[in-house]
């Protein structure tokens, strides 16, 4: 059984005090985590403080991005070593906002995936998903396939145990319009099949595939009930500890 992973992507939100309070609020809900693994992913400038706030709890620390070079003249970028130093475990790569607002390509993502998986203590949450017009043109599978093939090129299957895929249809992110459980399961099963081609069947069976896009406490149970849905990457609903805890509890109950 794959252990579900529920991670809260706080994006470019919260003040320092709010981030600390939310982190403490999430950590205080640990009784509802059950078998679920839980992570919070604050903005870079809050990573250290959030790490302090969750110290000693079973909430893992995440970061929203990382640069692939080890150090040097890369103004504004953050290295994997800096993140490790702060206790980060999960690093997002290729979030749709980075792809579609900031112009990140799967080739760029690939360099980041390698840099992250080359650090034994880090796990990479690689995000993929189609835009609305791509779904309407029946290109969902093509888009997911090419994001997987290009983004994961050259990744050694021995490192894939630290890889998580987040399937996030772009039309569902921040819109209140989540994929149905059938749409999610169909995409996740397809993605697992592609992972089997890239790695092998056993590796694909072990990789967690999170669903993301308007997950809330009220729709989490049905999404998490799907066999290939192994947790959630949560944006808006992760900014309230109670709501986030409801999603975690749903994932834990579905994957007992
Ligand atoms: P949302 O965002 O839950 O606000 O739709 C999900 C995400 O971007 O990871």
The ligand 1 atom nearest the CA atom of 166: 9
The ligand 1 atom nearest the CA atom of 237: 3
Give tens-digit pLDDT for 153-211. Answer: 999 999 999 999 999 999 999 999 999 999 999 999 999 999 999 999 999 999 999 99
Q: Is 94's C-beta closer than 6 angstroms to any atom of ligand 1?
A: no
Give tens-digit pLDDT for 30-49. Answer: 888 999 999 999 999 999 99
Q: What is the mean pLDDT of residues 58-87?
A: 98
Query: CA 125, 189, 126: angle at the middle one, nearest 5?
Result: 10
Q: Is 217's C-beta closer than 6 angstroms to any atom of ligand 1?
A: no
Asked if the model's pLDDT at residue 256 lies above 90, the reply is no
| Atom 6 in ligand 1: residue holding the nearest Cα | 235
Helix segments in 104-166, DSSP class H: 106-117, 132-136, 140-151
Q: If you measure from the C-alpha of residue 94 to the centroid of ligand 1, how many angstroms do you get, rounded to a whole number?
A: 13
Asked if the model's pLDDT at residue 24 lies above 90, the reply is yes
Q: Is 191's C-beta closer than 6 angstroms to any atom of ligand 1?
A: no
Q: Quote the pLDDT of residue 64.
A: 98
Q: Is 243's C-beta closer than 6 angstroms to any atom of ligand 1?
A: no
Q: Is 240's C-beta closer than 6 angstroms to any atom of ligand 1?
A: no
| Atom 7 in ligand 1: residue holding the nearest Cα | 235
Compute CA 138 distance to the chain's CA centroid, rounded to the nearest angstrom: 25
The ligand 1 atom nearest the CA atom of 213: 5
Catalytically annotated residues: 95, 168
Q: If you measure from the C-alpha of residue 74 to the centroid of ligand 1, how many angstroms do you get, rounded to a whole number?
A: 28
Phi, psi of 144 (to 5 degrees): -60, -40
Half-sphere exposure at residue 221, Cβ-oriented, CA atoms within 13 angstroms: 5
If one residue of 90, 213, 248 were mutated to test the ligand 1 pocket, choosing by the most ligand atoms within 8 A of its CB, it would be 213
The ligand 1 atom nearest the CA atom of 236: 4
Decide if 63 contacts 31 (C-beta within 8 A): no
Residue 254 makes CB contacts below 8 A (sequence gap 6+) with 4, 221, 224, 225
Decide if 171 contacts 133 (C-beta within 8 A): no
Ranges of beta strands (E only) in the chain are 5-9, 37-41, 59-63, 90-93, 123-128, 163-167, 208-212, 231-234
Q: Quote the pLDDT of residue 210.
A: 98
Q: Quote the pLDDT of residue 49.
A: 98
Report the percentage of the chain scoring pLDDT > 70.
100
Q: Quote the pLDDT of residue 1.
A: 80
Asked if the model's pLDDT at residue 142 lies above 90, the reply is yes
| Average pLDDT of the chain to the nearest whole number | 97
pLDDT band, residue 69 (cuts 50/70/90):
very high
Look up residue 138 and give its two tokens: 């029946």
Q: Is 215's C-beta closer than 6 angstroms to any atom of ligand 1?
A: yes
């Amino acid at each position: 059984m794959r252990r579900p992973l529920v991670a809260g992507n706080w994006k470019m939100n919260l003040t320092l005090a709010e981030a600390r309070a939310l982190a403490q609020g999430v950590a205080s809900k640990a009784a509802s985590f059950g078998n679920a693994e839980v992570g919070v992913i604050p903005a870079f400038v809050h990573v250290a403080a959030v790490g302090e706030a969750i110290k000693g709890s079973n909430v893992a620390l995440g970061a929203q991005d990382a640069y692939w070079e080890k150090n040097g003249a890369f103004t504004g970028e953050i290295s994997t070593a800096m993140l490790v130093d702060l206790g980060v475990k999960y690093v997002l790569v290729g979030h749709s906002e980075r792809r579609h607002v900031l112009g990140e390509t799967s080739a760029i993502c690939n360099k980041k995936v390698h840099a992250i998986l080359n650090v034994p203590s880090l796990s990479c949450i690689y995000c993929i998903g189609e835009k609305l017009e791509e779904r309407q043109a029946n290109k969902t599978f093509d888009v997911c396939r090419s994001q997987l093939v290009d983004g994961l090129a050259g990744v050694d299957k021995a490192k894939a145990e630290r890889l998580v895929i987040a399937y996030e249809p772009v039309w569902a992110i921040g819109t209140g319009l989540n994929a149905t459980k059938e749409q999610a399961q169909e995409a996740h099963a397809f993605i697992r099949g592609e992972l089997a081609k890239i790695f092998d069947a056993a590796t694909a069976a072990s990789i967690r595939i999170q669903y993301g896009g308007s997950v809330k406490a009220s729709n989490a149970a049905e999404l998490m009930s799907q066999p290939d849905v192994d947790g959630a990457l949560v944006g808006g609903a992760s900014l309230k500890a109670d709501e986030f805890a409801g999603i975690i509890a749903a994932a834990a109950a579905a994957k007992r």
